[in-house]
């Protein structure tokens, strides 16, 4: 029984050395240079996901990566590896933050697009109601209002389909204002007739 306990203890010490101490010392696993390169790729991935300067995790990862490169250039592999691992942790946090922000923008842009779609449907109904019994010139004017409104809405729909959520959010209010104005014009035209 004592022998089994001794073997189990030696095995746990061996595993601790192999998985914790030896990689930290650089004796097994990737080299410090490979760690720094992997960290640079993680930071670039965060940028591709939408992370940008000004985001705390992204900025901190950049600082740590620069520190790791400087330590590597100075020949301090242990310090470079430690800084690279810290930078990678922050780069992964920046990736999460960027993906979360992009998903939030997508949801808000989807709400804008759905609102624009609803307004366009209401506008089409208003055009049909206002055009009933009108002369050709008046119907053409009403149809022109509808065409212009569809163009404005279609631009936002296209931006949404092309994942340009910030553009949808930036231009959404102007399109809504245009559509509401067109609807009010149509309602006024309907009351005239």
CB 83 within 8 A of CB 68: yes
How many other CB atoms are found less than 10 A from the CB of residue 95? 22
pLDDT in tens, 161-179: 999 999 999 999 999 998 8
Q: What is the pLDDT of residue 77?
A: 87
How would residue 2 be classed by pLDDT, with cut points 50, 70 and 90? confident
Q: Which residue has the tokens 């931006």?
A: 159
Q: What is the mean pLDDT of residues 30-58?
A: 91
Compute CA distances 127 → 119, 122, 180, whole Å. 12, 9, 13
Task: Name the token pair of 27.
Answer: 């004796």
pLDDT in tens, 130-147: 777 778 888 888 888 888
Mean pLDDT computed over every residue of the chain = 86
pLDDT at 84 over 90: yes
CB 43 within 8 A of CB 65: yes
**CA neighbours within 13 Å on the CB side: how many for 129?**
16
3-state secondary structure labels for all residues of 26-83: CCCCCCHHHHHHHHHHHHHHHHHHCCCCCCHHHHHHHHHHHHHHHHHHCCCHHHHHHH
How would residue 29 be classed by pLDDT, with cut points 50, 70 and 90? low
CA distance 19 to 9: 15
pLDDT at 37 over 60: yes
What's the helix, strand, coil split of the chain in %, to 5?
90, 0, 10
Task: Name the token pair of 173.
Answer: 């209010």
Does the model's pTM come out above 0.95? no
Task: Name the token pair of 29.
Answer: 């696993």
């Amino acid at each position: 029984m004592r022998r089994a306990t001794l073997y189990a203890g030696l095995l746990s010490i061996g595993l601790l050395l192999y998985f914790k101490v030896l990689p930290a010392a650089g004796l097994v696993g990737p080299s410090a240079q490979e760690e720094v390169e992997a960290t640079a790729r993680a930071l670039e991935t965060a940028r591709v996901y939408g992370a940008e300067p000004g985001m705390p995790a992204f900025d901190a990862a950049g600082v740590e990566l620069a520190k790791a490169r400087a330590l590597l250039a100075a020949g301090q592999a242990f310090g470079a590896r430690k800084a690279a691992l810290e930078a990678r942790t922050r780069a992964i946090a920046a990736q999460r933050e960027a993906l979360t922000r992009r998903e939030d923008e997508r949801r808000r842009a989807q709400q804008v697009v759905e609102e624009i779609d609803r307004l366009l449907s209401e506008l089409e109904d208003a055009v049909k109601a206002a055009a009933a019994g009108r002369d050709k010139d008046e119907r053409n004017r009403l149809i022109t209002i509808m065409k212009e409104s569809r163009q404005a809405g279609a631009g936002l729909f296209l931006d949404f389909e092309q994942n340009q959520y910030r553009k949808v959010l930036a231009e959404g209010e102007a399109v809504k204002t245009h559509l509401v104005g067109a609807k009010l014009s149509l309602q006024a035209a309907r009351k005239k007739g």
